[in-house]
Amino acid sequence: MTLFKQLGFLLSLFLMIILLTVTVLNFSSTTENAKRQLYHDAQNTAASLSLSLATAKGDKSMMATMINANFDTGHYRWIVLEDMKGEVIFERLEDIYTLDVPAWFVSLIDIDVQRASAQVSSGWMVIGKVSVEGDVSQTYLMLYSSFKSLILSFVFFAVTSLFILHLLLYTILAPLRTLQEQAEAIGKNEFRYQEQLPYTKEFREIVSSMNTMIRKIESSFKVGSSAMQRNRRLLYTEKLPKLYNEHYLRLKCQEEFIGSSEYDGGVVVIAEFSSLEKAERKLGAVAAEELMIELAALLIDKSSIVTKRLVARLSATRFALLMPGSKEIEAKLVAQRVVESIIERLGSADNGPSCGVHVGLYAYRSDEEYRSFMDRATQRLQIAIDNDLNTIAVQGNADQNDFTEDEWESLITIALEKERFNYHVRNVIEPDQDSIYDRAITIVMYNENGNEYPYGRFIAPAVKAQKVFEIYQQVIQLLVKKFTDKDKKGRYTFSMPKSLLLDERTFASLQEEFENFENTHDLDFCIELPESFIVEKEAMAMQYVELIKNNGYRFGISEFSAESDNIDYLEQLRPEFIKISKLFLLDMIAHSSPLLASLKLAAGALDIKIIATGVSTQEELETIQAAGVDIVQGFITEVL
């Protein structure tokens, strides 16, 4: 029960007791006054009648007339005249009628009627005694009318008092409601302040303390966020925005762009600017460095025609442009535009004919290792260097895997028709707690022979064939259909790729599935969105997050690598966790990077858990745990 209800109940009870007591006392006083008034009226009548009867000088008929006259003009039940021996000379009696007074009221009010008496004299001689008893029916009628008035007054004052009491309590306790909302927000790690302090001293002190606590938490997040971005730039980026170093390029390739991603291979371009020494002699070291950064900016700008790209600086004069998912023809166009722009820029700077650019281009497969395709691209670059300036050397490669694009599309189409897509469930564990934190759902595909194709094998061809939406729709419906009551008691997480989220059909379909599944389950379900989607499509991501949370599901971020210029979006979206590849974590640990500490500080301020993915060995697990990351996902969970 809330404090408002407790105070309202107690004060209302106290107020009702007071009003009821006043009403009862008032009615009791009225009753006693009515009894006394009834007796006093009888006493006055007896005294008046005795004087009148004395003038009759013993004439019984006259005395009877006087008694009848008094009886008929007053409210009496009984008048009797007796002689000195107690014999009745004349008596007048009438039955009592309680008029419109209910029987329960008559039985509730006991009026003990007292008779009034007076002596009757004739001269100096006492001849008898007259006795008078009042009619209580009129008293009951008067008391009943008074009772109804008191009840109406009681109801009026009770309702009015309760209404005023409610308003007073509502006004006085208004800061408490705001305090409750603020406390609930703190429980959700939301930074909510009360700018207007309450008038009540105790409430004002509590609000001030809570505001101070929130400022400290928010400050921790902002410090962690700022430090993380600063450390990330120091460790992974060069001087130019969106220009990374080779270290980051290698990690990003291993995490997202090759092996198990949505990109079926791609193209890597390596560009080298020649004769930096001559440029330094002519322009100076600082200006020559600025020229290199400017040429790198041209590389970034001219490659914007492709959907996905990453530019990294490999050395003082060598830069790499990675274009996952692109084809050789697109890469040639980008390379030609880059060469033309750089020739134009160098020519306008009048740096001499010996300054220029060499470009090596290599189309790699999705299953090819980072070092392998970088070596091949470097070989292409060397061929260009051996030739004249501003040349492009190209080497293509075979398509991914052992199927052509048409064969993959046919295989996926048949699998959809025959409903051969299924899912596996793998544990996400907390080794220290020896408990399962979540169960991650991954999609697999089967052919007509029952051979299984893992997610990383078919997803890139599925993206090209534009079948991702149909695949996920089939699997989600399968989840809804196959989950038993026992399954529904567990915690599950399901990752959705960026290509699926960008499909305009996905949001409406997901909303429909939620509505069909509403109130029919106890499923503790989490949907993961990749960080790259959140960073690039913030408004769309917010719609998905609201849809997920409004339907009672959890939300997490996958493939986290702090791609954004800041991570303030974490405060707005409030994910339950962020999943980071072991490659990034182990790299940060190996370099003793403060980036990890900053990330933990920022995430801790919002109570966001950090989950390491792809952990496969006990050594990796121990290293990651020693760094303070206690939740892991990967093959290691199968042996623990």
H or E stretch at 359: strand 357-364
Which comes out higher in pLDDT, residue 119 or 618? 618
- Per-residue pLDDT band at 399 (split at 50, 70, 90): very low
Q: What is the mean pLDDT of residues 67-91?
A: 77
Residue 398 pLDDT: 44
Q: What is the mean pLDDT of residues 307-326?
A: 84
Residue 202 pLDDT: 64
- Residue 591 in contact with residue 235, Cβ under 8 Å? yes
The closest alpha carbon to 342, from 326, 355, 328, 324, belongs to 355
Within 8 A by CB and 6+ apart from 402, the residues are: none
Q: What is the mean pLDDT of residues 535-550?
A: 90
DSSP-derived pairing of the beta strands 125-134 and 76-83: antiparallel
Q: Is the pLDDT of residue 638 over 50?
A: yes
Which comes out higher in pLDDT, residue 382 or 263? 382
Q: Is the pLDDT of residue 353 over 50?
A: no
What is the share, in percent, of the chain residues with pLDDT greater than 90? 6
Residue 194 pLDDT: 63
Residue 445 pLDDT: 92
Which two three-digit tokens encode residue 430?
Answer: 């907390």
- Per-residue pLDDT band at 405 (split at 50, 70, 90): confident
Please list, residue by residue across 563-602, b when 16 or more beta carbons sit within 10 angstroms of its beta carbon and e when fewer do. Answer: bbeebebbbebbbbbbbbbbbbbbbbbeeebbbbbbbbbb
Q: Is the pLDDT of residue 594 over 90?
A: no
H or E stretch at 170: helix 136-172
Within 8 A by CB and 6+ apart from 570, the residues are: 221, 225, 557, 578, 602, 603, 606, 608
Rounded to whole angstroms, the Cα distance separating 93 from 60 reads 17
The full DSSP string for 516-544 is HHTTS---EEEEEEEHHHHHH-HHHHHHH
For the stretch 514-539, pLDDT in tens is 777 654 556 688 899 988 888 888 88
- Per-residue pLDDT band at 640 (split at 50, 70, 90): low
- Per-residue pLDDT band at 235 (split at 50, 70, 90): low
Distances (CA, A) of 378 to 143, 238, 319, 326, 594: 112, 21, 11, 19, 33
- Residue 113 in contact with residue 133, Cβ under 8 Å? yes
H or E stretch at 640: none
For the stretch 432-463, pLDDT in tens is 777 888 888 889 999 888 888 888 778 778 88
Which comes out higher in pLDDT, residue 231 or 540? 540
For the stretch 26-57, pLDDT in tens is 888 887 787 788 778 778 777 887 777 777 66
Which two three-digit tokens encode residue 136?
Answer: 């209580």
What domains can be seen in the chain, in order of their start residue? Answer: 3-171 (3.30.450), 243-395 (3.30.70.270), 405-575 (3.20.20.450)
309-315 contacts at long range (C-beta below 8 A, 24 or more positions apart): 310/244, 310/249, 310/252, 310/257, 311/242, 311/243, 311/244, 312/238, 312/243, 312/244, 312/245, 312/246, 312/248, 312/249, 313/238, 313/243, 313/244, 313/245, 313/246, 314/246, 314/270
Coil, strand, or helix at residue 83?
strand
Q: What is the mean pLDDT of residues 254-262?
A: 60
Separate counts of helices (H) and strands (E) for the chain: 22, 19
- Per-residue pLDDT band at 204 (split at 50, 70, 90): low
- Per-residue pLDDT band at 252 (split at 50, 70, 90): confident
Dihedrals phi, psi of 502, to nearest 5 degrees: -80, -15
Dihedrals phi, psi of 361, to nearest 5 degrees: -130, 135
Q: What is the mean pLDDT of residues 103-117?
A: 74
- Per-residue pLDDT band at 123 (split at 50, 70, 90): low
Within 8 A by CB and 6+ apart from 281, the residues are: none
For residue 317, the 8-state DSSP code is S
Which comes out higher in pLDDT, residue 211 or 612? 612
Which two three-digit tokens encode residue 321?
Answer: 């442009």
Rounded to whole angstroms, the Cα distance separating 321 from 306 reads 11
Residue 577 pLDDT: 92
Rounded to whole angstroms, the Cα distance separating 115 from 120 reads 16
The closest alpha carbon to 143, from 104, 113, 97, 106, belongs to 106
Query: In whole numbers, what is the pLDDT of the chain averaged over residues?
Result: 78
- Residue 596 in contact with residue 585, Cβ under 8 Å? yes
Which comes out higher in pLDDT, residue 436 or 398? 436
Least confident of 210-214, 465-469, 594-598, 618-622: 210-214
What is the share, in percent, of the chain residues with pLDDT greater than 70? 77
pTM of the entire predicted model: 0.59
